[in-house]
A and B are shown apart, each in its own frame.
Chain A
Amino acid sequence: MIDRTPKLAVRVEDLTKGFGEAPVLRDLDIRVGWGRILVIFGANGSGKTTFLKVLSTQYSPDQGKIWMAGIPRSEDPVSIRNIIGVVAHQPMLYQDMSTVENLLFFSRMYRIVDPRKRVAEVTELFGIKSLLERRVGTLSHGMQKRVAIARALLHTPPILLMDEPESGLDEESLYLVMKTLQDYVDQGRTVLMTTHNVDIGLDLASEVAVLSDGAFRYHGNREGIDTDKFRSTYLGRMEVGS
């Protein structure tokens, strides 16, 4: 069961993060409830990846506060890492180890009680059971991505952070990932994902945000958003809701 005692899965207040002089994220505020998929759109360099890296404790914020499932990021980053799963651009897998070795290694790092059983479950879920003994370096990018998503879900995290999960996936893999994400949030979990793909993003989203120059220009529910208008906004031609 997921502990939903804190009302919000993700709460960010006044978040600022920069590298050197230039701020990459500026005064971000956002709240996401349980059982929601927040899709963050933004152009290259808008700060999407940095935002996810700050949430996942990989980067420290320069200013502001973050709570994940009610846990303050500044006080207990280890507990936060225990309740999040992360899918990044790179598969983050050991290329010279087999699929099963990779998944078992990370299962043990996450202290999963029965690693072999859990690895069997996630590989079944993503249709990669036949790849268990294959060295990851010999797999196609799409298959590595599937393994990467399986790795992120090993410890059944209540919050999933995904950075452009659709990149490099074929139609079948994409369908599988979208279905898994939908099942995942139906169980009360929360997903924050970034994407460039308006169609996939709007298909999945229960909430939508647009990040531009390090600030959220829009954040609202998916319902009521006109896809064409949104696409135009995303491309910088008109305002949402105008």
Chain B
Amino acid sequence: MKTFLLCIMLIAWKDIRLEFRSREVVISSLVFAVLVMVLFNFALNVTPDTVDIFAPGVLWVSFVFAGVLAMSRSFAVEKDKGTLDALLLCPVSRDVLFLGKMLALFVFMIVVELLLLPVFAVLFDFSAFSGTLISTIVLATLGFATLGAIFSSMAVNTRSREIMLPILFFPLVAPVIIGAVERTNGVIGTDTGIVGSGRWLQLIAVFDAVFLVLCPWAFGIVMEE
């Protein structure tokens, strides 16, 4: 178990170090997400009266779009440089490789989302730093990263990987996005009904659990052991 966790951390830490040097994923995702937020802000003509209606949707659309950019790079970089083969040759199970890559993706996405929150708070004029919102972001991002990592690994072997990834990803991640939007609606919006029971958070947690069981298993098949 200790070795299992150690190797997951090693792979994730390696990805984080590489990203720290290149800053390709975080910077590009961040810039893209800010642009999405600004464009939505103008396109929807958000006013203080309508901010509660639009803000949760805009927040999560920005997060998901930024996440897809990060996902598309996750396995593509390894594949293009030939290092995916080196990882696959390491004497660890495919689960370890998957969870290591997924953990790094999760960290990148969380960093981008935390950096986006103040921008969002300024644009939409609300206090972004609530425990409820942070817990929703963490759980939903876990779902995004898990599903994103598996589809990134699938798309990397296809010719049109940039197209394949969102086509595969969005339909399956929809329940998590819906749960996250509804939960956020309770924090910054007007909906106070179901949020108090935390059912949306439970829904997200259930999907996370399902993804965390199925995706590492599917990765072994995708990588053709």
> A97 to B11, alpha carbons, bound, how many Å?
13
What are the interface flags for A81-111 relative to B under an 8 Å C-beta threshold, 1 for contact and 0 otherwise? Answer: 1101010101111111100010001101111
What are the interface flags for B80-110 relative to A under an 8 Å C-beta threshold, 1 for contact and 0 otherwise? Answer: 0111011111111100000000000000000
Q: Which of B6, B17, B91 contacts A97 (CB 8 A)?
A: B17
Contact of B91 with A94 in the complex, beta carbons under 8 Å: no
Identify the closest chain A residue to B11 (Cβ): A109
Instruction: Evaluate whether A59 and B91 lie within 8 angstroms (CB atoms) in the complex, with A94-B83, A105-B10 already known.
Output: no
Asked if B7 lies at the interface with its beta carbon under 8 angstroms from chain A, I say: yes
Asked if A58 lies at the interface with its beta carbon under 8 angstroms from chain B, I say: yes
Central interface residue in B3, B18, B85, by most chain A CB within 10 Å: B85
**Residues of A contacting B11 in the complex (Cβ-Cβ under 8 angstroms):** 109
**Residues of B contacting A94 in the complex (Cβ-Cβ under 8 angstroms):** 14, 18, 81, 83
Identify the closest chain B residue to A77 (Cβ): B225
Contact of A95 with B81 in the complex, beta carbons under 8 Å: yes
Contact of A82 with B91 in the complex, beta carbons under 8 Å: yes
18 sampled A-B residue pairs with Cβ under 8 A: A56-B89, A57-B88, A58-B224, A59-B224, A78-B91, A81-B89, A81-B91, A90-B81, A90-B85, A94-B14, A94-B81, A95-B81, A106-B86, A108-B6, A108-B10, A109-B11, A109-B91, A110-B90
Give the A-binding residues of B (Cβ under 8 A). 3, 6-7, 10-11, 14, 17-18, 21-22, 81-83, 85-93, 224-225
- The 3 tightest CB contacts between A and B, nearest first, are A90-B82, A82-B91, A92-B86
Give the B-binding residues of A (Cβ under 8 A). 56-60, 77-79, 81-82, 84, 86, 88, 90-97, 101, 105-106, 108-111, 151
